Amino acid sequence: MSLLLKNVRAVDGESGLDEVTDILIDGGKIVDMKKGIPDGGSRVIDCAGKLAAFPGMMDMHVHLRDPGFTHKEDILTGTSAAKAGGFTAVACMPNTRPAADSPETIRYILDKAAATGVKVYPVACITKGMSGRELCDYDQLKQAGAAALSDDGKPVENAGLMLRALQLSVSNGLTVISHCEDLSIINGGIMNKGEIAEKLGAKGMDRASEDCVTAREIALTMSCSAHIHIAHVSTEGSVNIIRAAKKDGVNVTCETCPHYFTYTHEKLLSMDADYRMNPPLRTERDRAAVEEAVLDGTIDCIVTDHAPHTAEEKADFFTAPNGVVGLETSLAATLTGLYHTGKCSLSHISRLMSSNPRKVMGLEPIKLAVGQPADLTVFDPELEWEVIPGELHSKSVNSVFKGEKLKGKVVYTISDGKIVFSL
């Protein structure tokens, strides 16, 4: 049966569309878009001018923990969380067990994800086993279905290996995603280095760790005219380095997460490990710099770095692993912090969360237009709700936004013309 969205505010930052219209969906495609489309036997959802629609959002940085860590999350539960958050596509990072460094693991991910209603793009390892010692066979990985390359969770410490990976990416077309962290600077730190860490007696993570590797990656990229994507930007220094590089014409893109433009390291005063992630929450100056970079386009994408961990793992503040879940709160937190404060338009948010991630990954952006795939994120930008961890679809509940009242909620997620999530 065809599906008709009546009186929906269609917002597509890629094309500049922002108007109330009807959208008719049939056969997995948008077949008509105009006001006053007759029902004609379609299933009708009257959005009453209240609901808005983006081209289906993509989160290009998630950890589905599958294979190997399915007590935290698996592909089925992770994609359920994605659908509830309005995402019709995700890219999953390779720090699984085994790591995603072989065609077999890439095919396992694709096969398990095939029927979920979410397009899952596996990110393969830069180095075998993410060990930083030997490059993977990128041609084999790409043929198996790998969509990008990263050793996320572990930086590639050897600059020569990273340079070779970037050189190869020019010909194989796989985006290289860098986790910018100098482990010799981090040296066991668990939160931002500063007065809060000192007060808690916790070892700090100096922002120089992120900044110096960001600068290194840009220098390597410049040397071979490649493209580098910088993951989860959290510091003023990295923002300034990337902004300057873009001004000089370097092909660098980057991303951040809602928690980096929402919170600071003061959250850690609670000694709750659910506020610990890597990179960590930093100072107000860093938070403001990240927010400014989102607004001015220096930061290309908003992602989640969805990183599930069990409650038992997160129980001890000092020994807990880093990471937070975020798929179901990402759009709401962004709307709350940027749109409802008047800082950012819906059009820009659609670019940050729908079209730009696809472009960075080398994929064709989907649009709200006749003939386009019917992947849509339909949401109520005014709906207020409280984040209750136990109501999330993920196996893990380590949400940095737990207990917060957010404004904006996904009501329907439509993938290939089918409603795969409804509130």
Cα separation, 303 vs 58, in Å, equals 8
Cα distances (angstroms) measured from residue 26 to each of 43, 57, 178: 11, 20, 40
Cα distances (angstroms) measured from residue 67 to each of 74, 112, 113, 321, 342: 7, 10, 12, 18, 42
248 catalytic? Reply is no
Pairing of strands 148-150, 191-192: unpaired
DSSP string for residues in 156-180:
---HHHHHHHHHHHHHH-PEEEE--
Side-chain-side CA neighbours of residue 359 (13 Å)? 17
In three-state secondary structure terms, 41 is coil
Side-chain-side CA neighbours of residue 43 (13 Å)? 8
H/E stretch holding 71:
none
For residues 74 and 67, the answer to whether their CB atoms sit within 8 Å is no
Pairing of strands 191-192, 17-26: unpaired
Q: Which of 243, 245, 355 is nearest to 297 (CA)?
A: 243
Of 305, 375, 380, 416, which is the active-site residue?
Answer: 305
Q: Which of 379, 268, 275 is nearest to 326 (CA)?
A: 275
> Which residues are known catalytic residues?
305
